[in-house]
Amino acid sequence: MIKTKKFPKKIGDNRFVEFPELRFQQSHDNIAYFDATYYTKSKYPESDSNYTDFYNNFSCWIKAIQTAYAIPEEDLSVINENNGHCMIEESLALLYVGYLDNMYLVHAIDRISEMHTTGLVLSDTTLLLMLRNRFPLEDLINIYANDQNML
């Protein structure tokens, strides 16, 4: 049986620009969780995925993370006392994203491969924000149009 915990009655914080629906909160005993119910219902409203499935299908990864970060079994997932949402320990967040979207895991593995090959990885979002902050729109249009004078 999953235990319940108290959480502040506020919307959780977003840590990842790429996943605005992934909200994190600290429980009253100071453990960070993400709101798996909110994420699943917001991002995949028609999904029949469930948390038991996640734990069963990703158990080897969950156990590895649990061991690496010394997370007690009873703190892996809890129920938010305020709204009944399933809250999962923060270090499992991106694994949960990959559970619901297998192509995200493919993308993540591709980025890890890129990091090992080139020594550096930036998200597409970060690259676009850096370009937008550095160059005026006209320059970006010219670069995209492959204007050799801009390069």
Which strands form 32-35's sheet, in the order they lie side by side?
A: 4-5, 77-80, 86-89, 32-35, 23-26, 13-14
Amino acid occupying residue 55: Y
Tell me what the mean pLDDT of segment 30-54 comes to: 90
Query: pTM of the full predicted structure?
Result: 0.78
| Percent of all residues in the chain with a pLDDT value above 90, rounded to a whole number | 55
The mean pLDDT of the chain is 89
- pLDDT at 66 > cutoff 80: yes
Q: What residues are paired with 13 via a beta bridge?
A: 24
What are the residue boundaries of the structural domains of the chain, listed by start? 4-102, 105-144
What's the pLDDT score for residue 145?
82
Beta-strand runs (E) in 7-130: 13-14, 23-26, 32-35, 77-80, 86-89
What's the pLDDT score for residue 148?
56
Question: Are residues 77 and 86 in contact, defined by beta-carbon separation less than 8 angstroms?
Answer: yes
| Percent of all residues in the chain with a pLDDT value above 70, rounded to a whole number | 96
Q: pLDDT for 82-141, tens place per residue?
A: 999 999 999 999 999 999 999 999 999 998 998 899 988 887 888 888 888 888 888 888
